[in-house]
Chains A and B, each alone.
Chain A
Amino acid sequence: RKEVEQDPGPFNVPEGATVAFNCTYSNSASQSFFWYRQDCRKEPKLLMSVYSSGNEDGRFTAQLNRASQYISLLIRDSKLSDSATYLCVVNSEYGNKLVFGAGTILRVKS
Chain B
Amino acid sequence: GAVVSQHPSWVICKSGTSVKIECRSLDFQATTMFWYRQFPKQSLMLMATSNEGSKATYEQGVEKDKFLINHASLTLSTLTVTSAHPEDSSFYICSAGTDGGTYEQYFGPGTRLTVT
Question: In angstroms, how far is the closest chain B Cβ from the Cβ of A2?
Answer: 10
Within 8 A of A (CB), among B97-116: 97, 102-110, 112
Chain B interface, >50% SS class: strand
**Interface residue tally of chain B, by bracket?**
20 to 34
Which of A16-24, A39-47, A55-63, A73-81 is the contact stretch? A39-47
Bound-complex Cα distance A42 to B42 (A)? 13
Q: Residue A72 at the B interface, CB < 8 A? A: no
B103 touches A91 (CB 8 A): yes
User: Which of A43, A44, A46, A102 interacts with B42 by CB under 8 Å?
Assistant: A102
User: Which of B43, B91, B104 interacts with A46 by CB under 8 Å?
Assistant: B104
Which residues of chain B are within 8 angstroms of A101 by Cβ–Cβ distance? 43
Q: Residue B44 at the A interface, CB < 8 A? A: yes
Which residues of chain B are within 8 angstroms of A98 by Cβ–Cβ distance? 34, 46, 103, 105
A41 touches B91 (CB 8 A): yes
Within 8 A of A (CB), among B11-69: 32, 34, 42-44, 46, 49
Q: Residue B76 at the A interface, CB < 8 A? A: no
Within 8 A of B (CB), among A1-46: 31-32, 34, 41-46
B43 touches A43 (CB 8 A): no
Q: Residue B81 at the A interface, CB < 8 A? A: no
B104 touches A100 (CB 8 A): no
Bound-complex Cα distance A103 to B44 (A)? 10
Bound-complex Cα distance A91 to B101 (A)? 11
B46 touches A97 (CB 8 A): yes
A32 touches B108 (CB 8 A): no
A97 touches B49 (CB 8 A): yes
Q: Residue B79 at the A interface, CB < 8 A? A: no
A100 touches B44 (CB 8 A): yes
Q: Residue B93 at the A interface, CB < 8 A? A: yes
Chain A residues proximal to chain B, CB less than 8 Å? 31-32, 34, 41-46, 49, 87, 91, 95-103
